[in-house]
Chains A and B, each alone.
Chain A
Amino acid sequence: MFAGLPGTGIGGVFYILLTLFMPLRELYLTARGRGSVERWKFVGSRFILFAGVIGGLWLQMIILHALVGSETSQMMSMAASGGGAMSTAGAFGQAGSKLLASGAGLSLFALAIVIGAVTLLRFAMIAKQRLGL
């Protein structure tokens, strides 16, 4: 998420989710009297930016479908958006449903695994500390 580091796979999905969460956070802050017009403007600009990104990806998928067919374009997107995600799905032995078959679904799945894993690791650390291990 900084220059020198590759990857726009689950990071892209993660940042879209963070953007989607922004209005909720702003509503909460506004309700507590800590609202800010500047921040609302920022949230609006983020939404426009991500709408542009999603619109662009959608357009690209339509073009790809037309050129190479839906199956190939879907596989392409899976391979590009998260090689790691694909391996994760593979590890679950083809238990993937149609959701996992799409690039976005795969990325979401991988993101959940990653966030879940670090959260579990944290709980394990706390437990270890409490047990004095």
Chain B
Amino acid sequence: MVASARSVGDRAQRVTWNPRMIATQETVEAAGSTVGTATMEPALELDLHARRRRASKAPTPVWTSADPNGKPRTLGGLTIIIPAYNEAKFVADTIKSVQKQTVHVDQIIVVDDCSTDGTGDVARACGQDIVVIRPPKNCGSKASALNFALDYVSSEFTLAIDADTTIAPDGVEKLLRHFENANTGCVCGMVIPRRVQSLWERGRYVEYLYAFTMYKPIQDYYGRPMIASGCFSAYRTDLLRLLGGWSMRTVGEDMDLTWSMYKLGWDIRFVEEAVCYPVEPHNWNFLSKQLKRWTAGFAQCVRVHWRDLMHQPMMRSLVAVALWDALAAIIGMFVLLPALAIFVHPLFLLGYVLDVPSVAVPVLVAAKKRGEVKKALACLPAFYLMRFVNCWFVLTSFWNEFVSKRRITVFEKGH
């Protein structure tokens, strides 16, 4: 893992990881615009494995005494990283939602990834507790920007959220509770689109309600959520360092990190009650970039991790089924159904929406909990269009990844 900011090499000043040192705006400025690589000491690796061995039914304490505002504090401290590139419009809302959390946040780092719209200034204006860091040049990817910030983190827990994502006030507290299990390396939350106006936002709204109600809780029950969403996940910092931060070998850095943690034997939890609200792509331009990245990221993760997945019964089954379903959906939607509709009977076109009950029931159950049944019903048709679009992107990504070998390596921002 090499962050672009780290390529400055010898000039770089090393930021030594010190649990007692919390970076402030002053220390960041004193360090200059270059940072070194926070390397993993061998002792730390041993300590991590020892902690895993010690993991038992008895919960390990996460909380310590409350801060002056009465907010509970985490024992080893908590840092929230917000990577931002041209997010002046949204970053203030994100920071405010972090400041309103029911837990004490030791450090908020905003990575102003060489934005041209004044994102850094907007972030700085949100309060003196915000540390804004700016790499010497654009990092090129979210993973790289996160890694740039990781060098400044000295707390036990690190939470990463997207710059266009707000968190429910109790969201972080609900996530952190699950670190009481010493073997939990990462905890992720529920995702609900903040804005549901355009066709694509409506489709995504149903898609999230469906995935996070139907599939993810079951994956969590069996201890294997397939992905800890990058827009809102908390990690053990030392584990992040052990893995070299967010990997840049794929464009799906969150999935890559999730699967890497499983490889080392760590647990990941999904917490349905911890909710975040990202801004989803509202137009085709952004949606296509995001879907290209997601589907290519999945294909690349399968390519990178398939050998390791083979030794994890639940994960290999989940991934194999997801792969099969995606490919079967392509054949069904692009070949079988149109052919049957043309050559046998036009009614076969109904096949596109034949699984309405299996989608609508979980979506409406989830929507009822949120008091949004009418909204969910109104958005349901958009889901089917979204699924058709997903098929196209899975097809092109898999083709590029495995057949034509024109792999996507450039991270294009989906919003």
Contacts and interface: CB of A to CB of B under 8 A. Distances in A.
Interface in A27-51: 34, 39, 42-43, 46, 49
- A-side interface mostly: helix
A125 B307 contact: yes
A49 B336 contact: no
A117 interface: yes
Contacts of B291: 4
Contacts of B360: 56
Given A57-B357, A111-B321, A122-B311, A80 B351 contact: yes
Contacts of A1: 211, 215-216, 219, 226, 318, 321-322, 325
Contacts of A83: 328-333, 335-337
A125 B217 CA distance: 31
B306 to A, nearest CB: 9
Contacts of B358: 8, 12, 53, 56-57
B332 A5 contact: no
Contacts of B329: 6-7, 9, 83
A126 to B, nearest CB: 9
- B-side interface mostly: helix
A72 interface: yes
Interface in A115-129: 115, 117-119, 121-122, 125
B22 interface: no
A50 B204 CA distance: 22
A60 B354 contact: yes
A103 B236 CA distance: 44
B331 A117 contact: no
Interface in B205-235: 207-208, 211, 213-219, 221-222, 226-227
A6 B215 CA distance: 13
Contacts of B354: 60, 76-77, 80-81
Given A8-B359, A118-B316, A68 B347 contact: yes
Given A1-B219, A8-B359, A14-B321, A76 B336 contact: no
A60 B357 contact: yes
A11 B290 CA distance: 23
Pick the most buried of B217, B222, B310, B354: most chain A CB atoms within 10 A of its CB: B354
Interface string A99-133: 00000000000110011011101100100000000
A53 B325 contact: no
B350 A76 contact: yes
Given A1-B226, A4-B295, A72-B345, A80 B361 contact: no
B218 A121 contact: no
A7 B221 contact: no
B321 A114 contact: yes
B326 A7 contact: yes
A57 B362 CA distance: 13
Contacts of B320: 114-115, 117-118
A10 B217 contact: no
Given A1-B318, A2-B215, A60-B356, A76 B351 contact: yes
B402 interface: no
Contact of B218 (A10, A19, A60): A19
B328 A84 contact: yes
Pick the most buried of B214, B226, B298, B360: most chain A CB atoms within 10 A of its CB: B214
Contact of B324 (A12, A49, A110): A110
15 contacts: A1-B321, A3-B211, A4-B291, A6-B329, A7-B329, A46-B217, A53-B362, A56-B358, A68-B347, A76-B348, A76-B350, A79-B332, A85-B328, A115-B317, A118-B310
Interface of A: 1-12, 14-15, 18-19, 22, 34, 39, 42-43, 46, 49, 52-53, 55-57, 59-60, 64, 68, 72, 75-77, 79-87, 110-111, 114-115, 117-119, 121-122, 125
Q: Report the 7 A-B pairs with minimum CB-CB distance, sorted nearest first.
A: A56-B357, A7-B325, A83-B332, A84-B328, A83-B331, A80-B351, A7-B329
Given A14-B317, A60-B354, 10 more contacts: A1-B211, A1-B322, A3-B294, A12-B358, A53-B362, A56-B357, A57-B357, A79-B348, A81-B355, A111-B321
Interface of B: 57, 191, 204, 207-208, 211, 213-219, 221-222, 226-227, 290-291, 294-295, 298, 307, 310-311, 316-318, 320-322, 324-333, 335-337, 340, 344-345, 347-348, 350-352, 354-362, 365, 387-388, 390-391, 393-394
